[in-house]
Amino acid sequence: MLLQQLINGVALGSTYALIALGYTMVYGIITLINFAHGEIFMAGAFVGLLAVSILKLNIFVAMLLAMVVSMSIGVVIELIAYRPLRRSSRLSALISAIGVSIFLSSLALMIFGADAKGFPSTAFPVRQIKVGEAEISSLQLLIIGISALLMMGLEFIVKKTKIGKAMRATSEDYNTAALMGINVNRVISFTFALGSALAAAGGVLVGVLFNAVSFNMGLMAGLKAFAAAVLGGIGSIPGAMLGGLMLGVTEVLGVAAGFSSYRDAIAFTILVLVLLVKPTGLLGRKIQKKV
Amino acid sequence: MGSFLHDIVANADPYFLQILVNIGIAIILALGLNVITGLTGQLSLGHAAFMSVGAFASAILTIKTGLPFTLNLILAGGISAMAGLLIGYPILRLTGDYLAICTLGFAEIVKVVFLNLEITNKALGLTVPPAKTSFPMPVIVWICAILAIVAITFLQNSRFGRALKAIRDDEIAAESMGINLTRYKLSSFALGTFLAGAGGSLYAHFLSYINPSDFSFLKSVDILSMIVLGGLGSVPGAVIGATVLAAAPEFLRFMSQYRMLVYGALLVFLMVFRPNGLLGGVNFVDLVLRKMGKKPHIPLAGEREGGR
């Protein structure tokens, strides 16, 4: 029973982690809470859904397509709504992000209507695998596997490639990185592309998992993923993964323990409690304030 | 007096009255958040939660005790401020975005708890009986709004207000000047949440129906957009921001289904072209004096950045 719930929690948590990574990377570089990120996740889910149901693509190809489309959405959003505000106050950029988020979700409402849409049942044939007491569906394995794969890919890009090095340098010190000849604008666009791709993958996975894609799915998922990013220590990539998994597992365990009507509050309660003990999150660096 | 005002209100166009009251309540809420975020620089993403606490407290007070509305209003604000202090005391140690996400988390928790409590009638929401007062609600709303405007205007230039601005501009410098950070941050939080609670109480009694889902994250964002749009830390800015955004859904009504689409695009557009808000960085006293040719304009250090 516990094993079963743990697996459910890890599957849900890895989707939170995928979204949280986008928040944390963008925050690490331009200290902006990208409130439109949840809507990119929603857009990814819709592109995946259309690709599967109308273009009749394989679910994996659909996911790739969703990632590519979301990448361009993310980059365009940054170009239009955030880049002109880079030198002004952070709150203005935040409001701009909220504006984008409202715009995208109402656009989705207009195009796709208010009711949730499901993936066709042929999209991914679900098989149950018995492991001891627990029953794992092949879907959960797929979600955990793809998330792990994407996160390893991200780790590789950030740690081993030249652009990854540039990303780390930019997040360390924006101005110095620019002085060292790093094209900061390109790095920021790349970060948005990377984060959006991960969110889109998360969107398709969540869409298949709950079999529901709707215009407002980005709001709660975005808030929880953001909570996960803060829980792990915002700006820290391993922190986002850890935070996502922790929130997913506690949420599932909380629901299993009979608090299902408090489902959406569980994640935030954990968050508030952790921040009270560790004010910069689990893996966040302690910020030394200098006079 | 009371019946005379009732006559005026009864003769007014109800649709127009509704917009007017929405604006009045929005002004009170925006001024409250303006104290927390605009003056003290503590970003709060959960202002609607305190509005919710005030609305439900006041509705339950009306149902259970039947206190006169003035007392009820103050009590609702007080309860809301208590909630603000209770949550503020531990979390105001956090800085910047950690504080923001904590207030957001708190707001979500309040919403879910109210959706599950018996006394708030769960997800069905509460029907609020009419307020016990001889004045019509729209008049009370505007009396409160004007009181709030006057109070916050005076507050801004008082010793207390200057201390808050010092905290906003540089916490370390403020602390070394002998400003007790915790005390001032908490007081500003209490004041802001008091206004939120009062706004909630007015909202509840004007609409006579409240539901926990009315006070969601989007409501908090709405209030925040008002003060950022108007110009952070400026009272006229908060008033104009509240007026524009509270009336905007009505003026955009003709495009019905495109309304939220346009609203979102408008927020981005306004921020890109007026990053400091409509009135950000505009100093009214200075402006008037200059028009009269009394004072040359000397920009102070850091003034051009406006807000934070």
pLDDT digits (tens, 9 = 90+) for B41-88: 898 989 999 999 999 999 999 998 888 899 999 999 999 999 999 988
Q: Which of A245-249, B166-170, B264-268, B295-299 shows the lowest mean pLDDT across its residues?
A: B295-299
| B263: chain A residues, CB-CB within 8 Å | 99, 102, 106
Is A85 in CB contact (< 8 Å) with chain B? Answer: yes
Q: Which of B108, B221, B257, B303 has the highest number of chain A CBs within 10 A, making it the mutation to test binding with A? A: B108
Q: Which residues contact A2 (CB under 8 A, 6 or more apart)?
A: none
* Window 202-241 of A, Cβ < 8 Å to B: 219, 223, 226-227, 230, 234
Closest alpha carbon within chain A to B228 = A92
Q: Which domain holds residue A74?
A: 2-277
Interface A-B: count of C-beta contacts within 8 A: 141
pLDDT at B298 over 60: no
> In angstroms, what separates the C-alpha of A26 from chain B's closest C-alpha?
14
Q: In the predicted model, what is the mean pLDDT of residues A7-28?
A: 92
Q: How far apart are CA B249 and CA B263, in angstroms?
A: 8
> In angstroms, what separates the C-alpha of A283 from chain B's closest C-alpha?
14
Q: What is the pLDDT of residue B307?
A: 40
Is there a domain that residue A71 lies in? yes
Is A289 in CB contact (< 8 Å) with chain B? Answer: yes
Is there a domain that residue A283 lies in? no
pLDDT at B203 over 60: yes
Grade residue B250 by pLDDT with cuts at 50, 70 and 90.
Answer: confident
Is there a domain that residue A61 lies in? yes
Q: What is the pLDDT of residue A91?
A: 81
Alpha helices, DSSP H only, in chain A?
A: 2-30, 37-53, 59-77, 90-112, 138-160, 162-172, 174-179, 184-210, 217-232, 237-256, 263-277
Q: Which of A2-11, B99-108, B199-208 has the highest mean pLDDT?
A: B199-208
Do residue B112 and residue A90 have CB atoms under 8 angstroms apart? Answer: no
Do residue B264 and residue A104 have CB atoms under 8 angstroms apart? Answer: yes
Q: Are B112 and A265 in contact (CB under 8 A)?
A: yes
User: How many other C-beta atoms lie within 10 A of the C-beta of residue A156?
Assistant: 11
Is there a domain that residue A285 lies in? no
* Window 262-301 of B, Cβ < 8 Å to A: 263-269, 271-272, 275-277
> For B84-100, what is each residue's pLDDT tens digit?
999 888 888 887 777 88
Is B90 in CB contact (< 8 Å) with chain A? Answer: yes
Q: What is the pLDDT of residue B303?
A: 46
Q: In the predicted model, what is the mean pLDDT of residues A93-119?
A: 90
pLDDT at B264 over 60: yes
Q: How far apart are CA B306 and CA B308, in angstroms?
A: 6
Q: Tell me which residue in A27, A92, A227 faces B228 most closely, judged by beta carbons.
A: A92
Is there a domain that residue A291 lies in? no
In the 8-state DSSP scheme, what is residue A83?
Answer: G
Q: Are B39 and B168 in contact (CB under 8 A)?
A: yes
Question: What backbone phi and psi angles, to 5 degrees, belong to A129?
Answer: -115, 130
Q: In the predicted model, what is the mean pLDDT of residues A127-131?
A: 80
Q: How far apart are CA A282 and CA A241, in angstroms?
A: 11
Do residue A89 and residue B257 have CB atoms under 8 angstroms apart? Answer: no
Mean of per-residue pLDDT scores for chain A: 89
> For A73-104, what is each residue's pLDDT tens digit?
999 999 999 999 988 888 888 889 989 999 99
Is A91 in CB contact (< 8 Å) with chain B? Answer: yes
Q: What is the pLDDT of residue A286?
A: 67
Grade residue B304 by pLDDT with cuts at 50, 70 and 90.
Answer: very low
Grade residue A165 by pLDDT with cuts at 50, 70 and 90.
Answer: very high
Q: In the predicted model, what is the mean pLDDT of residues A113-123?
A: 84
Q: Tell me which residue in B109, B172, B221 faces A268 most closely, judged by beta carbons.
A: B109
Longest dimension (CA), chain A: 61
Closest alpha carbon within chain B to A279 = B94
Q: Tell me which residue in A81, A89, A264 faces B276 most closely, judged by beta carbons.
A: A89
Q: What is the dihedral of CA A62, A68, A74, A75, to 10 degrees?
A: -170
Q: In the predicted model, what is the mean pLDDT of residues B245-258?
A: 79
Grade residue A246 by pLDDT with cuts at 50, 70 and 90.
Answer: very high
CATH number of the domain enclosing A193: 1.10.3470
Do residue A223 and residue B113 have CB atoms under 8 angstroms apart? Answer: no
Q: What is the pLDDT of residue B13?
A: 84
Do residue B98 and residue A96 have CB atoms under 8 angstroms apart? Answer: no
Is there a domain that residue A288 lies in? no
Is there a domain that residue A99 lies in? yes
Q: What is the pLDDT of residue B212?
A: 92
Q: Tell me which residue in A223, A261, A291 faces B104 most closely, judged by beta carbons.
A: A223
pLDDT at A120 over 90: no
**Locate tokens 């006079």: which residue?**
A291
Closest alpha carbon within chain B to A287 = B95
Do residue B271 and residue A99 have CB atoms under 8 angstroms apart? Answer: yes
* Window 268-287 of A, Cβ < 8 Å to B: 268-269, 271-272, 275-276, 279-281, 287
Q: Which of B124, B172, B232, B268 has the highest number of chain A CBs within 10 A, making it the mutation to test binding with A? A: B268
pLDDT at A230 over 80: yes
Tell me the whole-structure pTM to 2 decimals: 0.85
Count the domains in chain A.
1
Q: How far apart are CA B150 and CA B155, in angstroms?
A: 8
